[in-house]
Structure 1
Amino acid sequence: MSSSLDSERGRQDDDFDDVNESMENNFKKVDVPDWNKQITLRAIVTSIILSVVFTFIVMKLNLTTGVIPSLNVAAGLLGFAILKAYSGLLNKFGLLKQPFTRQENTVIQTCVVASAGIAFSSGTASYLLGMSGIVASQADSGNLPINIKKLSLPWMMGFLFAVSFVGLFSIMPLRKMMILKYKLTYPSGTATAYLINSFHTPKGEKLAKKQVGALFKSFSFSFIFSFFQWFFTAGDNCGFASFPTFGLKAYAQKFYFDFSSTYVGIGIICPYMVNISLLIGAIVSWGIMWPWVESKKGHWYPSNLPTSSLHGLQGYKVFLAIAMILGDGLFQFVYMTIVTILGLIAEVRNKKETSHPISNDKDDLNESSDVKVSKFDEKMRTEYFLKDSIPNLWALVGYIVLAIISIICVPIIFSYRIKWYHIFVAYLIAPVMAFCNAYGCGLTDWSLASNYGKIAILVFSAWVGLEHGGIVAGLAACGVMMNIVSTASDLMQDFKTGYLTLASPRSMFFSQLLGTGLGCVISPLVFWFFNKAYSVGDPTGSYPAPFAVMYRGIALLGVEGFSSLPKNCLKLAIGCFAFAIAVNLLTVLLKKYETKYRIHRFIPSPMCMAIPFYLGGYFTIDMCIGSLILFLWQRINKKQAEEFAPAVASGMICGDSLWGIPAAILSLANVNPPICMNFLSASDYVKVDKFLHH
């Protein structure tokens, strides 16, 4: 979800056209520091601070709805703001030894995003949590002790260290081919580079200061408003988060505005169609499907089942969402594989057909100024990209050594429920998967890491079997595959950013290593903090972690087949699966063949539609309000909206999310809010009033 980055990139392109000169010409008087001087102590300290902040944000989003927008803008902007203020202060006292450069800014952004990325790929809100007893208790089958693993910090950190670094070495030898030969776009990496380059130009620096001011204003408002809401949450279903905006009947079906600054901010960042898809999914599921399925209680499933049972209504919610997610994921997997193969074939053909024409001075004189600008920038960037090369032998040795460590350690961590040869097979095919994902991400900005993980769950859980711990084995295999594929595409994105900001590939690689290492420590600690303060994984609690249930449900499908589904759930699931494939196919065909009306922009995303199936529509209301705010803002002042909307949205997300830290501390200290603001129907109020007076 890179709408904010796309708008920033558009703004940067406008600035570029205005000055009609190369970006690198703006920095011709600025020396590019050596790669080891790009990784400074102040950059590392700043990265650690921001890594903790962003991990809290991503973890909260993961544990609530799983909808995570791109936070690259906020990471780059906050990194710039902190070090610019620090270096400016030192400069006043004549103590500044090394000026703050865009390369240093890139190092910070890379490290922070890598660390926050581990909060997603670590599985603390999905596959690892899916192994726990609290999630397993929500299913009536597959709950043998061998299919449950108690969560603890030591083995979680050990697992992440064993699997998170392998992906970095799997893709590193292909950096020159991806960046220089194929010239893949990597939209998020490119937009981030334009953003950082702009910060360090005089015009961009002025705008960046204003954006930082807007971010901190929205941060302060969001934090204070969250603090204010806390006073009214003394019991269950209390406070503004339980406000029946559209009435009590709509509230019972999860349709209400819960006053979450986080999801209003995410709505501002995400594309309009993402938010509308979420709303459509909520209406179809909670407005139509679930009331209809619930009317079949006693016929399709027993009426005396607990609400959390996967053999009751909850099973339809989970497995239909899984079917739609798998349908979407399978289509994207096949489609991106085809795109990758066709792209490689086209590259080979172009190489064969391209001749080497002899240029002359007359041709050079006839070149447009834009072409000359492009050649100058490309020459500079290529020179610095090739300057600090990383030997491919390092990558090969690193991959083999880390793979061996993982093959030995992962089976031990999971008490040999997953065997060494399972991990060996995963690492044999992983480089191919990592390449496909990195190549596809370079073309479309889509990372399909979670889809590769879901496929791994099905394959390895079925391979191991229920009686031998197939559920835990499948979820562990998901972690192995997902971490490799995710970190590989993230690294290539960072290489693209470094290429465009003249940051050394070595500094990019080492900052990625640092960020990954930080994430392996910070993510489990932050998860443990939430887990101690709240009932994480409880479907009725504040942090239901919906993807933990879904990932365990996929593992159940792998070990038990379709026998684990409630009555008629398979038919409905097949319909959802087919619907997801049909919608994606229609979107691709319309993109390819219709040009006049661009109808494909109005087709909803099946993946987004599936998310509210389990959770409800409350957060989709928030996100649609965010879209409405952005739409009205653009109508009033489009330029201002493009420049400041990402910063304002990031501030709203940060403020509301970071209130979770003091709120959790208060909960751990048994400090409870003083007021419960609850809402009753008129008839219930009369009954309560009579009871109190008697």
Structure 2
Amino acid sequence: MRPPSELTFRAVALGLLIGCLLCFTNLYFGLQTGWISMMSLQSSLLGYLISLLIPSVSPLTPQENVILQTTAVATGTMPLAAGFVGIIPALGLLDRAKDGMDPIHVLWWDGVWWCCAVAFFGVFLAAPLRKQVIIKEQLAFPSGTATAQLISVLHKIPPPAAARPGLRHRNGHTGSEDGYQAVRTVEAGGDIDEDAEDPGETDQKREEIVRAGWTTLGWSFAASGSMTLAAYFFPVIFAIPLLGDYLASKWLWTFSPSLSYVGQGIIMGFPTTVSMNLGMLVGWGVLSPLSKKAGWAPGDVGSMTDGARGWILWVALAVMCAESVVSLIPVVLELLRVLRANRDGHPEEDLETETEDRLVPMKWVLWGTGGSVVFGTIIVWYVFGSEGIKPWATVLGFGMGAVLSLLGVRALGETDLNPVSGLGKISQLVFAIVQPGNIVANIIAGGVAEAGAQQAGDLMQDLKTGHLLHASPRAQFHGQLIGSVLSIFVTTTAYSLYKRAYPIPGPNFPAPTAYVWLSLARLLRDGQLPAYSGTFMLAFGILGLSVSSLKTWAGLQGKWWAKWVPSGVAFAIGFLNTPAFSIARLMGGIVEFWWRKRTGGNRSANITLIVIASGFVLGEGIVSVVGLVLRTFGIGVASCWGCAEGVCPSC
């Protein structure tokens, strides 16, 4: 059987290249802040620009671009799907005295095997869901729709029907650690020409596109990379004691003018960064000093065990779980409605637009799902042993992953939010009953469920893009598998290099979500909370339920102000990270808001903004590898001048 025409070598190769860059970048930022980016919009844009530099008989087609970004996303998001920004560091924090087990430090080969165990289950789950949620119910999947719209603009074809001006869709967040990643919808405005397709585009025009795109990307990449390299030798650049040495050293109030954080703020958008900074002000400006002064957190403020940072973590966990519960309620109700309609035998029109040879055969799904469960169970048993998690419990974990993935995919399609963190926590709750007292089993089971939901959600967003642009679902399925296979080795190698050069968790890479996983597992075993944290968890949990309910209702009703209701997850991320990580992102959000107001939704200006943000993010993520090499060879900082005591992780 011949492969679909869009599954070309150049599309897959470019997707793998971009995906590897994103993999290093996402691991770097994920270990720092717990927030990673799906980067589907950026992958499409970068792939298009690179393709224009490659001499070929014909330019990259829109369908090839779909395959390119599908492959790139699969490769770039493995650090989250396989738990290298949360699950794996959490296992390294185990303590014999507290947990009854020594820390589990995953070696390179063990990491590869673990990735193999969880990398494909969600991919096979997504394929049969496509017909229900994309074809029959036509769920929005706003980020997938936005990517399709961007590709149509880049390739000068009429915009997809579901993305044309005047049709309502919602902005929001998609799965990131600890749960969510923001992707702003590309607002093309009214200047998209229905007859924009121009097969006779001149070479001069193509050269202008390449020159403008690469110039913008090059300057933004160079600026961010140069600042990153300078900050390696002079750490104060990323740890400015903006409010004085006392607040910096004792209360961790510093400012990091990282252009990559600014770029992430642009991608997140102004409403999300405002929510994050609101959480920062409440967590670090109110609750942190309150818990310290009241004696509830007697240790150093930055301690995750007995300090204020560890104390406010519990409040953040309550907010995240509250929003996850609220986001799932309408999804469950809608799922029950659909099941009831199917049971009553209501006829449904078959709206499938693809032929059988372009769809994923059901026998592939059955064999792939069954094989990934059996193979994954054996691998998990091999890596962690029966003392870690029983084989039957791993099978149960995969089963829960299938159910939770269904909920996650529907939530993503309706709200652009995949509550993977909350879904993982649900699995932890169940395994507190199934294997009580076993910390390792609790964390691993949550990781299996989260991986399935993450992979299924990523592919479903991509399938929505492909459906709007008439790309082959089978070709996208192949691209996802190819990207996942390569990323197994890239992710594990990158983590091993960082682990060899830096302590993880540690000052440079605090891996905040690792503490979330471990803390919940310990709570479910011991039932003990830090002093008075339970009271604040209850209060903020109720507040989170109320605000999230309002946001969910407003979003479903299409209210224009829904995006301005604070995001619970972004609010909680402001608690988990020190102020240095949030302030720069707010600057990016302000830039995004000002830019869009100033340009009035002009499509060329919006694409330029995406290019700038991409250069900022990739610049620090890629150049950080240079710092990794320098540290490996024993080349340290040049000067610690200006650093507040105990603030600089390198001094």
Contact 2:271–2:566 (Cα < 8 Å) also in 1:
yes
Match of 1:655 in 2: 619
Match of 2:101 in 1: 145
- Pick the aligned partner of 1:194 from 146, 149, 162: 149
Matched, 1:270 2:268: yes
What secondary structure sits across from 2:98 in the alignment?
Answer: coil
What secondary structure sits across from 1:415 in the alignment?
Answer: helix
Give 1:62 deviation, angstroms.
0.4
Normalising to structure 2: TM-score of the pair?
Answer: 0.84
Match of 2:181 in 1: none
Match of 1:160 in 2: 115
Match of 1:44 in 2: 12
Match of 1:226 in 2: 228
Matched, 1:169 2:119: no
Amino acid at match of 1:629: V
Distance 2:129 2:299 in 1: 57
Give 1:34 deviation, angstroms.
6.4
Change (3 A) 1:566 1:434: closer
Distance 2:555 2:576 in 1: 30
Q: How do residues 366-515 of structure 1 correspond to structure 2 at under 5 angstroms?
A: 383-384=353-354, 386-416=356-386, 417-466=388-437, 470-515=438-483
Amino acid at match of 1:328: E
Which has the higher mean CA deviation after the structures are superposed, 175-184 or 586-595? 586-595
For structure 1, the residue ranges without an aligned partner over 5 or more in a row are 1-32, 234-238, 357-377, 682-694
Matched, 1:518 2:476: no
Q: How do residues 241-390 of structure 1 correspond to structure 2 at under 5 angstroms?
A: 241-251=238-248, 252-297=250-295, 300=296, 303=298, 308=303, 310-342=305-337, 351=346, 383-384=353-354, 386-390=356-360
The C-alpha deviation readout for 1:391-415, integer Å capped at 9, x for no partner, is 2122112211221222232123211
- Pick the aligned partner of 2:564 from 602, 605, 612: 602
What secondary structure sits across from 1:142 in the alignment?
Answer: helix
Distance 2:88 2:209 in 1: 39
The C-alpha deviation readout for 1:647-682, integer Å capped at 9, x for no partner, is 11111111121110101101111112322221569x
Amino acid at match of 2:454: S
Change (3 A) 1:678 1:405: same
Contact 1:385–1:504 (Cα < 8 Å) also in 2:
no
Normalising to structure 1: TM-score of the pair?
Answer: 0.80
Give 1:208 deviation, angstroms.
5.5
Amino acid at match of 2:258: S
Distance 1:156 1:575 in 2: 39
The C-alpha deviation readout for 1:236-258, integer Å capped at 9, x for no partner, is xxx21121223334434333321
Matched, 1:529 2:535: no
What secondary structure sits across from 1:128 in the alignment?
Answer: helix
Contact 2:133–2:139 (Cα < 8 Å) also in 1:
yes
Amino acid at match of 2:287: M
Identity between Structure 1 and Structure 2 (%): 25
Which has the higher mean CA deviation after the structures are superposed, 303-312 or 516-525? 303-312
Which has the higher mean CA deviation after the structures are superposed, 158-167 or 99-108? 99-108
Amino acid at match of 1:644: T
Contact 2:225–2:619 (Cα < 8 Å) also in 1:
yes
Matched, 1:111 2:71: yes
Match of 2:512 in 1: 546
Give 1:591 deviation, angstroms.
4.7
Change (3 A) 1:340 1:641: farther
Match of 1:127 in 2: 87
Contact 2:99–2:439 (Cα < 8 Å) also in 1:
no
Give 1:309 deviation, angstroms.
5.5
Contact 2:328–2:407 (Cα < 8 Å) also in 1:
no
Give 1:544 deviation, angstroms.
0.5
Give 1:113 deviation, angstroms.
0.3
Change (3 A) 1:34 1:495: farther
Contact 2:78–2:484 (Cα < 8 Å) also in 1:
yes
Match of 2:610 in 1: 646
Distance 1:331 1:475 in 2: 23
Contact 1:63–1:125 (Cα < 8 Å) also in 2:
yes
Q: How many residues were matched structurally?
A: 594
Amino acid at match of 2:115: L
Distance 1:44 1:69 in 2: 20
Match of 1:217 in 2: 219
Contact 1:253–1:287 (Cα < 8 Å) also in 2:
no
Give 1:55 deviation, angstroms.
0.5
Distance 1:42 1:397 in 2: 29
Distance 1:350 1:249 in 2: 69
Give 1:551 deviation, angstroms.
0.8
Distance 1:498 1:35 in 2: 16
Change (3 A) 1:85 1:419: same
Match of 1:559 in 2: 525
Matched, 1:84 2:52: yes
Contact 1:77–1:208 (Cα < 8 Å) also in 2:
no
Contact 2:269–2:593 (Cα < 8 Å) also in 1:
no
Distance 1:186 1:100 in 2: 25
Give 1:610 deviation, angstroms.
1.3
Contact 1:459–1:558 (Cα < 8 Å) also in 2:
no
Contact 1:438–1:492 (Cα < 8 Å) also in 2:
yes
Match of 2:175 in 1: none
Amino acid at match of 2:108: L
Change (3 A) 1:670 1:428: closer
Change (3 A) 1:345 1:198: farther
Contact 2:117–2:375 (Cα < 8 Å) also in 1:
yes
Give 1:471 deviation, angstroms.
1.1
The C-alpha deviation readout for 1:593-618, integer Å capped at 9, x for no partner, is 795xx554432122111122232211
Distance 1:171 1:348 in 2: 22
Distance 1:614 1:336 in 2: 27
Give 1:383 deviation, angstroms.
4.4
Change (3 A) 1:401 1:311: same
Change (3 A) 1:250 1:474: same
Amino acid at match of 1:419: K
Give 1:587 deviation, angstroms.
2.4
Distance 1:287 1:244 in 2: 16
Amino acid at match of 1:463: V
Give 1:344 deviation, angstroms.
5.5
Change (3 A) 1:278 1:115: same
Contact 2:87–2:517 (Cα < 8 Å) also in 1:
yes
Matched, 1:613 2:575: yes
Amino acid at match of 1:487: Q
Q: Which has the higher helix share?
A: 1
Match of 2:541 in 1: 577
Amino acid at match of 1:408: I
Change (3 A) 1:625 1:123: same
Contact 1:111–1:512 (Cα < 8 Å) also in 2:
yes
Matched, 1:184 2:124: no
Give 1:76 deviation, angstroms.
0.8
Change (3 A) 1:592 1:404: closer
Contact 2:26–2:37 (Cα < 8 Å) also in 1:
no
Change (3 A) 1:340 1:247: farther
Of structures 1 and 2, the larger Rg is shown by: 1
